[in-house]
Each structure stands twice: as structure tokens, then as C-alpha cells.
Amino acid sequence: MNADTSSGVERFDAVVIGAGVSGLYQLYRLRELGLEVRVYERGGGVGGTWYWNRYPGARFDSESYSYAYSFSDELLEEWEWSEHFAAQPETLRYLEFVADKFELRRDIRFDMTMTGAHWQEAAREWEIFFADGSRVYARFLITAIGGFATPTLPAIEGRDSYAGEAYHTAQWPHRPVDFAGKRVAVIGTGATGVQVIQEVAKTAATLSVFQRQPNWCAPLLNRPITPEEQRRIKAGYKQIFALCNETFAGFMHQSDRRNAVEVSAEEREALFEKLYGEPGFGIWMANFRDVMIDARANALLSDFIARKIRSRVNDPAIAEKLIPTNHGFGTRRVPLETNYYEVYNQPNVRLVDLRETPILRMTPSGIVTTAGAFDFDLIVFATGFDAVTGGYSRLDLRGAGGRRLVDKWAEGPRTFLGLLHEGFPNLVTLVGPHNAATFCNMPRCIEQNVEWVTRLLARLRAQGRTRIEPTPAAEDEWTAHVLDGAARMLLTKVDSWFNGVNRNVAGRDLRRFQLYANGLPTYRRRCEEVAAQDYAGTVIA
Ligand SMILES: Cc1cc2nc3c(=O)[nH]c(=O)nc-3n(C[C@H](O)[C@H](O)[C@H](O)COP(=O)(O)OP(=O)(O)OC[C@H]3O[C@@H](n4cnc5c(N)ncnc54)[C@H](O)[C@@H]3O)c2cc1C
């Protein structure tokens, strides 16, 4: 298998779509294997999420050093994170550093959007199409298109008539945006909204936050890394990654073995208080083991966080608007914050509760709600993504016999390990639905995905095999494993992107679980078992 350009047609052993954390590492590994690989990326540079999301306030919720690639000791030694939770510019610099260090750019083509790919059975290859009308061929098509790379705008009448400055957070300009002296609106209060609101509130003349429903937020407690901490981090990388790999979602936070409902009220309050005072996702991931599965335990935690919100917001009526009533803590993505609740104590900030006064329409000058018309100089759409499967729904992916992936997933995703697909030979979806990477400190799962895929391709190559496809039975079994594991979790009882619900996208109003909630250790074990049994559950030819 080689890149064949003799006929003017480009043919590769593997084509990777996307140059974020996943695509960059997959390129590195496949090139190491000696394959001819080409990466195609929609953006003008590497970095994926960290290339696109340049809004003020964008930063990690993962501890920086737990997010880093672990595959190169040299890289770990050379790179220094400046903060415990690095901001977007630093993470982008990191990924650019990785691309330069391993000379990855020479095999990446930027500003190239894949529109679809059709499987050609006779030649056992994918014909891959791009928005500029070009096409290439590859034995393996590896999608590294990310679960959060398809931004969605709010479905509001007249949205495009608005004539002022307007930006989606994931399509932020590559130049500074000035809020000083402006009347600014932010629509959306998810993880991104919470980050951007805290920044805009610092300089905007007025900030109006349009909240459809509040989310449970918890303190990030970011700070610079001291030289002594830097030394300890570098000496301790092995332990950091080992810890992450043992935990449910790849973070440096191990859940408490006790049940919240079984300990005394004092013990319970003590752990809640301790975790609320610690940085990062500990309050979500290192809590009592029953808070995500037992509604009584979850109610105790939610009540604790509600008290914290009330203690931080001066106006009791506003505090109540900021406290979720339709879901418990952690059953939707938890935004981490620094002074989010205190922002609502500022005289320049107003909370518009859309449950009381819904938006009717947008006009050239602003937003009209049932309470009246509001004019703005600048509107920020912090309305997130068509998450996890959204990138796939916009691709014309056709497998054997012309079957379309969107049709296959019409009733929800069906996959094998979240990586391989019955009816779609040689298609590999890194970070695909029903893959552990969907609910993870992502690089920890991405490395696992990429290394598993690399071993598979090495094995096929060594034996001169050119086609792999999972069996329907293996896919049924995996899908059942995913859905059974999720059924016990409270997060499946709530509308959110975890369950594929997005009210701004037509057809996304039914719950269809998209994540993997059996934990990273189980996922890794299952993948290892498949590999150890010579890829049981697949047909290799
Ligand atoms: C604001 C924000 C903050 C986050 N913070 C964290 C965090 O703290 N911790 C954490 O673990 N995760 C976080 N995430 C999740 C983050 O997406 C992952 O950590 C990681 O960056 C995913 O890498 P990826 O390479 O799989 O996907 P991405 O980084 O999304 O890269 C996918 C790439 O594919 C390209 N692409 C997509 N479709 C096409 C196409 N059709 N043709 C060509 N190119 C295409 C996109 O342009 C993009 O560059 C965050 C996400 C966001 C949006």
C-alpha cells in the first residue's frame, strides 16, 4: 500500500479527517508504522477545539498536565504548563509545538472540508470527497472530526437579520474582540457561556445573559503553577497518567467508595465542602459513588450546591433563577467557574430568564422577548454544538451497498467499541459515539483509541489483509453493553447532549444516548479482550 499519484489520483493507506488532539496523534502513529497517511483539516491550522474556540475565557476543565499527550517523555520534559487549568492560547501553542516537534504539518492539508466518502467494494477503498470538488482514495478512513466541532446557533426567528457584531464562541475571530463600553448579550449558559460571561462582564457597559435554563456550576480554582509544583509535575507524570487511567473518566479524581446516603450528615457535608474547595472536577468525579446513580444521594449534593449559590448571589430572587430545578447536579455537563455567580452582583449585569420571558425574535438592532425589545451592540452565541454525532449527520458517508451512516443511526448510534461499524468496512471513528472518549479527560481516551487502532492496522498489514468489518452480532452486543451501563445513570433521565437532545437542531428532540458510561477501565479492558482474541467480533479479509 502506497500513496499513488502516478495517475493524478491520490491514494493513501489511510486518510485521517481532522487535525485536533486525535488526528495529530493518529498521524504520528501511522507514519511511524510506515503507512502513507494524509490528514485533511477544515481549519487553517492544527489544534481542533483549541484552534476554533478562541473566545475570552476559554480554558481547560482538565488539569493541564493530565490533558497532555503522554506518549513522548521528551515532549513531557520540554513543555511547561503555566497554569493548573491552561487557557486556550496556551493549549493551541502546545498543539502547534507538538505538530512542529514531530513535523506533522507536512502530511496535513488545511482548509479542506470533507463532505462525504463512499466505500468502493471492488477496490476495497474509500473514495473521499471535499468541498472544493477534489477527491482522494484511501484503504482506511479514520475520522477524527471531534465531538464538539459542529457549532449550533439558536433557532430564533429573524436571527440573521441582526445587524450588529455577532459571534458564535466556536467561530470566534482571530483578532481581539473589544467589549468595552458596549451593550453585550450572551445567549447560552452552558460550559462555554459560563466561561465567556465572566470575561465579558469585566468590561462591557452592560451585559444581558439570556438563560434558557441554569446549569449547576462548581469552582475551578485555577492558579499559576509554581516552580516547585512544576518540578513535581514533571517528576510525577507517570503517576498522574496511571491515576487517570484507573479512574472512571480519565481525570485525576478518584470517586469516594462510600455512599452519600449511608454516611452521617456531618461526614457528607465534610466531603462536599472539601471537594467544593478543591480545584477541577473533583466535586463531580471524586464524590460519593452513589451521587450519579441514586436520586436521593444526588438530591443531597444538589441541595449543598444550591446553598453555595444562594450564599454567593446577593439578590435572593436572582439566586433562585440560577439554581436548576429540572435536573440534579452532574446529570448535565458541569461548567467550572471562577466568579460566575458573583458576576450577577455587578450593576452592569442582567439575567434574562427565558422561562419567564421567552425570546420572540431577533431584529436588526437586538432581541425581542415577551418583556420587550432590547438593543445590543454585540451578541455572543454560546449555544454549543450538535455534539458527538453532529459532525457525522452532516457527512454523506455511504458504506457497502451505498448504505448511509445517517440512516443506520436514525434510531441512535450503533457501533462496535465506538470505533468500527458494521456495513462500513475500514471506517474508524476516533472519539465516535458509544466510545469512552465521549465522557473522558479526552487525551487519555484518545491515546487509547489511537494506539488500539494503530495495532489493528499493523496486524492487518503484517498479514496482508485489507478489509475489516464488525459483525452485526458484535455491534448488537456492544450497543446493548453501552445502553445497559447507561440505564443506571441519572444522566440518562435528563434532556442534554449526553442523550443527543439539542432543541436548536431539527430532529434532535428524542433521547438517544451518545456517550459511554461504563468507565474508561472497563472500556480499555473490553478493547484489549477484542485485540487479544484476534479482533473477535470482526471479519477480517
Ligand atoms: C470550549 C471547549 C473546552 C473543552 N475543554 C475540555 C477539557 O478541559 N478537557 C477535555 O478533556 N476536553 C475538553 N473539551 C473537549 C475537546 O473537544 C477535546 O478535549 C479534544 O480537543 C478533542 O480532540 P479531537 O481531535 O478529537 O477533536 P477536535 O479538537 O474537535 O478536532 C476535530 C477537527 O476536525 C475538523 N473537522 C471536523 N469535520 C471535518 C470535516 N468534515 N472535514 C475536515 N475537517 C473536519 C475540525 O475542524 C477540527 O479541527 C473541550 C471542548 C470545547 C469545545
What does the pLDDT look like over 378-406, one tens digit per residue?
999 999 998 889 999 999 999 999 999 99
What does the pLDDT look like over 107-120, one tens digit per residue?
999 999 999 999 99
- How far is the centre of ligand 1, averaged over its atoms, from the C-alpha of 20 (Å)? 6
- Report the pLDDT value the prediction gives residue 509, as an integer from 0 to 100: 84
Question: What count of residues does the chain have?
Answer: 541
- Report the pLDDT value the prediction gives residue 7, as an integer from 0 to 100: 65
- Is the Cβ atom of 114 under 6 angstroms away from ligand 1? yes
Q: Give 419: exposed, middle or buried? Use CB within 10 Å, 0-12, 13-18, 19+.
A: buried
What does the pLDDT look like over 150-209, one tens digit per residue?
999 999 999 999 999 999 999 999 999 999 999 999 999 999 999 999 999 999 999 999
| Residue 41, C-alpha cell as written in the block | 483539516
- How far is the centre of ligand 1, averaged over its atoms, from the C-alpha of 306 (Å)? 31
Mean pLDDT of 137-151: 96
- Is the Cβ atom of 192 under 6 angstroms away from ligand 1? yes
- Is the Cβ atom of 442 under 6 angstroms away from ligand 1? yes
- Report the pLDDT value the prediction gives residue 365, as an integer from 0 to 100: 98
For residues 33 and 164, is the Cβ–Cβ distance under 8 A?
A: no
- How far is the centre of ligand 1, averaged over its atoms, from the C-alpha of 436 (Å)? 15
Q: How far apart are CA 308 and CA 121, in angstroms?
A: 59
Q: How far apart are CA 395 and CA 149, in angstroms?
A: 13
- Is the Cβ atom of 42 under 6 angstroms away from ligand 1? yes
Mean pLDDT of 473-486: 96
- How far is the centre of ligand 1, averaged over its atoms, from the C-alpha of 132 (Å)? 23
| Sheet containing 349-353, strands listed edge to edge, beginning at the edge strand earlier in sequence | 165-168, 378-381, 183-187, 206-211, 349-353
Mean pLDDT of 279-302: 96
For residues 281 and 491, the model is more confident at 281
Of the candidates 436, 236, 213, 229, the one whose C-alpha atom is nearest the C-alpha of residue 331 is: 213
Q: How far apart are CA 111 and CA 113, in angstroms?
A: 7
Mean pLDDT of 87-103: 98
**For the packed helices 442-462 and 237-246, what is the interaxial angle rounded to 10 degrees?**
90
- Is the Cβ atom of 43 under 6 angstroms away from ligand 1? yes
What are the b/e assignments for 445-471, b being 16+ CB within 10 Å? bbbbbbebbbebbbebbeeeebbbbbe
269: confidence class by pLDDT, cuts 50, 70, 90:
very high
- The minimum-distance atom of ligand 1 relative to the CA of 430 is 26
- Is the Cβ atom of 17 under 6 angstroms away from ligand 1? yes
In the chain, % helix, strand, coil (3-state, to 5) comes to: 35, 20, 45
What does the pLDDT look like over 498-514, one tens digit per residue?
888 888 888 888 888 88
pLDDT at 337 over 60: yes
372: confidence class by pLDDT, cuts 50, 70, 90:
very high
- Is the Cβ atom of 138 under 6 angstroms away from ligand 1? no
Q: How far apart are CA 428 and CA 328, in angstroms?
A: 35
Q: Are strands 349-353 and 427-429 parallel, antiparallel or unpaired?
A: unpaired
- Is the Cβ atom of 252 under 6 angstroms away from ligand 1? no
Q: Are strands 114-120 and 396-398 parallel, antiparallel or unpaired?
A: parallel
Q: Are strands 114-120 and 37-40 parallel, antiparallel or unpaired?
A: unpaired
CA triple 298-358-388, angle to 5 deg: 55
For residues 535 and 456, is the Cβ–Cβ distance under 8 A?
A: yes
- The minimum-distance atom of ligand 1 relative to the CA of 444 is 11
Q: Which residue has the cell 513531557?
A: 76
- The minimum-distance atom of ligand 1 relative to the CA of 113 is 42
What does the pLDDT look like over 409-446, one tens digit per residue?
999 999 999 999 999 999 999 999 999 998 899 999 99
- Report the pLDDT value the prediction gives residue 2, as an integer from 0 to 100: 47
C-beta neighbour count of 156 within 10 angstroms: 20
- Is the Cβ atom of 150 under 6 angstroms away from ligand 1? no
- The minimum-distance atom of ligand 1 relative to the CA of 61 is 8
DSSP 132-170: TS-EEEEEEEEE---SS-SB-----TTGGG--SEEEEGG
- How far is the centre of ligand 1, averaged over its atoms, from the C-alpha of 22 (Å)? 8
- Is the Cβ atom of 413 under 6 angstroms away from ligand 1? no
Helix (H, G, I), strand (E, B) or coil at 337: strand
For residues 497 and 452, the model is more confident at 452
- Report the pLDDT value the prediction gives residue 150, as an integer from 0 to 100: 93
- How far is the centre of ligand 1, averaged over its atoms, from the C-alpha of 441 (Å)? 12
- Is the Cβ atom of 386 under 6 angstroms away from ligand 1? no
| Cα distances (angstroms) measured from residue 62 to each of 55, 68, 221, 323 | 18, 10, 12, 24
pLDDT at 336 over 90: yes
Nearest CA to ligand 1 atom 9: 62
- The minimum-distance atom of ligand 1 relative to the CA of 18 is 34
- How far is the centre of ligand 1, averaged over its atoms, from the C-alpha of 183 (Å)? 31
Mutation probe of ligand 1 site: the residue of 24, 27, 39, 49 with most atoms within 8 A of C-beta: 49
- Is the Cβ atom of 141 under 6 angstroms away from ligand 1? no
- Report the pLDDT value the prediction gives residue 1, as an integer from 0 to 100: 44
What does the pLDDT look like over 28-63, one tens digit per residue?
999 999 999 999 999 999 999 999 999 999 999 999
Mean pLDDT of 139-153: 95
- Report the pLDDT value the prediction gives residue 335, as an integer from 0 to 100: 97
**Strand extents, DSSP E, 382-452:** 396-398, 427-429
- Report the pLDDT value the prediction gives residue 5, as an integer from 0 to 100: 54
Nearest CA to ligand 1 atom 30: 146
- Is the Cβ atom of 425 under 6 angstroms away from ligand 1? no
- Is the Cβ atom of 222 under 6 angstroms away from ligand 1? no
- How far is the centre of ligand 1, averaged over its atoms, from the C-alpha of 431 (Å)? 10
DSSP letter at 255 equals P
Q: How far apart are CA 165 and CA 252, in angstroms?
A: 40
pLDDT at 6 over 90: no
- The minimum-distance atom of ligand 1 relative to the CA of 170 is 53
**% of the chain at pLDDT higher than 70:** 99
Spatial neighbors of 532 by CB under 8 A, at least 6 apart, are: none
Nearest CA to ligand 1 atom 16: 49
- Report the pLDDT value the prediction gives residue 3, as an integer from 0 to 100: 53
Q: Are strands 125-130 and 114-120 parallel, antiparallel or unpaired?
A: antiparallel
Alpha-helical segments (H) within 214-294 = 227-235, 237-246, 265-276, 282-285
